[in-house]
Amino acid sequence: MIAVIQRVSEASVKIDQQLYGEIETGLLVLLGITHGDTLEDVEWLGRKIVGLRIFGDQDGKMNLDLKAQKGNILLISQFTLHASTKKGNRPSFIEAARPDVAIPLYEQMIRFLSNELGQKIQTGKFGADMKVALINDGPVTIIIDSKNRM
C-alpha cells in the first residue's frame, strides 16, 4: 500500500462537476492498493498518516501531528501509484489491486483513519473520474510504502 501525503491548507475533490469532498488544513492522501495488501497494511499506514508530525509548532518546526493541528484528511484512491514504467512508455498497472480486493481495503482505511482521528474524514469515490484540487502547504509531500517499513 502506497500513500502520497501532502500537507495542505485546502483540498477538494469534484466528481461530475459536483463537489464531493473538501477540507481546509490537513492532509490530502492519495492511496494506492496492491494485490498483497491486508488489514495489517491499513492499520500500520493509517497510524503513520495520523501520527506524522509535519505541522509547524509555535517555533515553526515540524513537531505537530494532525490531531494537534486540528486538521482533517481527504483520502483519494489512486491505482496509478502502482504504475510500472520499466518497459516502454506506456505504464502498466498490473500491480494495482483489482476492485474486489481494493474497495474493501479502501473502505477499511476510511474507517480506520476516521477512528484514529476521532472525526469523519472526507473521501473521493473509488473508481470515479475525479478532479482533485489542492494548495500544498510548504510544500510538504511525503511518500510511504507499507511494504518498505525498514
Q: Which residues are catalytic?
A: 80
Q: For residues 134 and 117, give the distance between their C-alpha atoms in angstroms, rounded to a whole number.
A: 21
Peptide bond into 104 cis (omega under 30): no
CA distance 96 to 1: 9
Q: Name the residue type at position 76.
A: I
